[in-house]
Chain A
């Protein structure tokens, strides 16, 4: 019985084994595999597979998926290179156009020039309006009034967008000149103006201490010691004036940083106002 079973298996298994008649590397099978990888979120390998069959199967969906794949990988320039090869008649041209604008925003971080607009459906038009308006936050000067700018967005987003607008065009910067002048008049006050109270009070105490030591030693005719304290006090005083200007600059750099981070987080959360595409269900 055992022997019969072994012999049966021995004959059947080779017959059913993988054979060369099945072509795993046919374009159709590669596409199926690439689709699977794309749905699994493995964009790097999905794009590689799609690229290998792109010349064999001309398909708008494949081109658009390659564009999305590159964009998801952060390869925005590659993504836009694919868009440049899109046919104007393609059903994905308008979607690709929107994605290309998002890629430009990521690469160049600047406002859009007024672009030649393809025909959009109402959803795409809304996305375009929002994306175009938000790009203004990368410009040096606003080209729309705040009311007009904010009105483009949904009600839920208007507060955030309004805050971002204010942060960009009326940033709560601290004046470097004022910080320096304040510290020149009252040591440490420039730092306090910038919000660094601990540093400001320390500077006031240190400069005051050296000034008192210098005065006291001059009064007691200890001229050498008095001059040493005068010199040190002068360095601390000048260093504090300099440091107050530097602190104001750092404060302003923090405002710029927070604005950029806030804007990026908001745009990522909103997927740059682009429609979601589901190719997997």
Chain B
């Protein structure tokens, strides 16, 4: 290596290290990463603001379910929408009586230990996709919303 090249080499090292050095306002330090899954179900909104009697009844049933089952059981529902959301959406799509029937059917299916992997499609997170629209007994809806188990659904 000639003297000139050596000079350039040291100049290059000097400039590059000064350019990328640790600054006063940006100290290098270890990062604390959290690998815990967020527990959204713990931050539930139990407020009793309602628009009509139907809304009141719907919220009462959902809150009872949250209090006695969801919060005790944890975030373990294998379906999306989860069982409590399914109940709320079922009542919204139909009425209280039909929504309750849809919910009890869902709850029974949830208790089935051998839920077929080939029965429900999945959402990206791996949960089974099981929307209330399939259970309203509206044939057009069912044909429209039916998704084969091989598909991954955007929730």
Contact = CB atoms under 8 A, between A and B. Distances in A.
Nearest to B138: A249
Instruction: Summarize A's interface: helix, strand, loop or mixed.
Output: helix
Contacts of A253: 134, 139, 142-143, 146
Interface string A184-225: 000000000000101101110010000000000000000000
Contacts of B111: 202, 206
Interface string A246-281: 100110111011100000000000000000000000
Contacts of A256: 143, 146
A69 interface: no
Contacts of A239: 100-105, 107-108
Contact of B108 (A203, A245, A250): A203
Range class of the A interface residue count: 20 to 34
Contact of B142 (A206, A242, A250): A250
B119 interface: yes
Contacts of A94: none
A82 interface: no
A242 B112 contact: no
Contact of B134 (A199, A203, A238, A250): A250
Contacts of B134: 246, 250, 253
A202 B104 contact: no
Interface residues of B, number: 26
A25 B108 CA distance: 70
B149 to A, nearest CB: 9
A258 B148 CA distance: 9
A240 interface: yes
B84 to A, nearest CB: 16
A48 B108 CA distance: 57
Given A203-B108, A243-B108, A246-B135, A257 B103 contact: no
B108 A240 contact: yes
A236 interface: yes
B119 A242 contact: no
Contacts of A202: 108-109, 111-113
Contacts of B115: 198
B116 interface: yes
B119 A196 contact: yes
A201 B100 CA distance: 21
Contacts of A36: none
Contact of A198 (B107, B116, B146): B116
Most chain A beta-carbon contacts within 10 A, residue among B98, B112, B148? B112
A235 interface: yes
Contact of A243 (B119, B135, B139): B135
Nearest to A254: B146
Most chain B beta-carbon contacts within 10 A, residue among A199, A235, A245, A252? A199
B10 interface: no
Given A253-B142, A254-B146, A243 B105 contact: yes
Nearest to A236: B104
Given A249-B142, A250-B134, A257-B146, A240 B105 contact: yes
A199 B146 CA distance: 19
Contact of A199 (B100, B101, B103, B109): B109
A245 B111 CA distance: 19
Most chain A beta-carbon contacts within 10 A, residue among B109, B119, B134, B148? B109
23 contacts: A198-B116, A199-B108, A199-B109, A201-B112, A203-B108, A236-B104, A239-B103, A239-B104, A239-B107, A240-B108, A242-B98, A242-B101, A243-B101, A243-B108, A246-B134, A249-B142, A250-B134, A253-B134, A253-B146, A256-B143, A256-B146, A257-B143, A258-B148
Q: For the complex of A and B, list the 6 residue pairs with the smallest distance between their C-beta atoms, beginning with the closest.
A: A239-B104, A243-B105, A198-B114, A253-B146, A242-B101, A202-B112
Interface of B: 98, 100-109, 111-116, 119, 134-135, 137, 139, 142-143, 146, 148
Interface of A: 196, 198-199, 201-203, 206, 235-236, 238-240, 242-243, 245-246, 249-250, 252-254, 256-258
